[in-house]
Structure 1
C-alpha cells in the first residue's frame, strides 16, 4: 500500500501501529517508564484485543497479519538488535537517498547476500524468497546502480 494512496485517517492509524511496534522493540525514549512502555506495547500486539483489532482495521490492515508480522519483527530484534528499524517522522519531504541492497534485504527479511543474488539473477534462491525480494525491490524503489 502506497502512503500517497491512503487517507489521512488511515495514515494516522498506520502511525499508531508503527509507533507501538517501535516502542515494543525498545526504541529509545526519554523518561523512566521505558521498560513499562515496552512491555505494554508488546502486550498490545501479543494479546490482540479489541482496541488492537480496531486500529488495524481503521488502518486498512488485517489484524492477524499485523500481529504475526510485528511479533516476528520483535523476535528478530530481540535476537539481533541491529535488525531494529527506526522510523523518522517528519512532515519534510524525503531527501533523495539511494536505496541500497541492505535496505532491500531488511525490507524482505533476508540477508544482503540473498538480496544481491536476486538482484543479479543468481541461482540458489527459493522461488518464495525470490518473490519476497522482488516485492521489496518494488516497495523500496530500488534501482540498480551501474558503474
Structure 2
C-alpha cells in the first residue's frame, strides 16, 4: 500500500486555517486518485477517480493548490507519477497519533 505522510503535515497546529484547508483538499485528491472501485462502480465514480489522477499529473490548478498548501508542485507531480507507475495503490492513512485538538478561545 502507498503512504501519504508529507513532512509538511507534521506541524498542523502551526498552520493557518487556510493552509490546513488546502492540505485537506490535496490529501482528498490523492485519496480519490488511489480509490479502489467496486466491480459494479458506475461511470460517475470512474470519471471522478480518473479526473483526480489527471489533475495530480499536471495543470495550473494543481500548481496553485500545491502552493497554497505549502508543497512544491513538482514534488507532488513526481509523487503522483510514482503512484501511477505502481498502478495507483491505495493510500494508507496513519491514524496511530490522534490529531491535536485546539482549545476554544
Q: Which interval holds the TM-score relative to the shorter structure?
A: 0.5 to 0.7
Q: 1:50 to 1:4 in 2, by over 3 A?
A: same
Partners of 2:37 and 2:12 lie apart in 1 by 25
The gaps in structure 2 that reach 5 residues or longer are 1-7, 100-105
For residue 56 of structure 2, the aligned residue among 33, 45, 57 is: 45
Structure with the bigger RCO (C-alpha within 8 Å, sep 6+) is 2
* Number of matched pairs: 86
Larger radius of gyration: 1
| Pair 1:21 & 2:27 matched | no
What is the TM-score when the length of structure 1 is the normalising length? 0.49
Partners of 1:88 and 1:73 lie apart in 2 by 18
Of Structure 1 and Structure 2, which has the larger fraction of its residues in helix? 1
What is the TM-score when the length of structure 2 is the normalising length? 0.67
Q: 1:35 to 1:56 in 2, by over 3 A?
A: same
Partners of 1:28 and 1:35 lie apart in 2 by 8
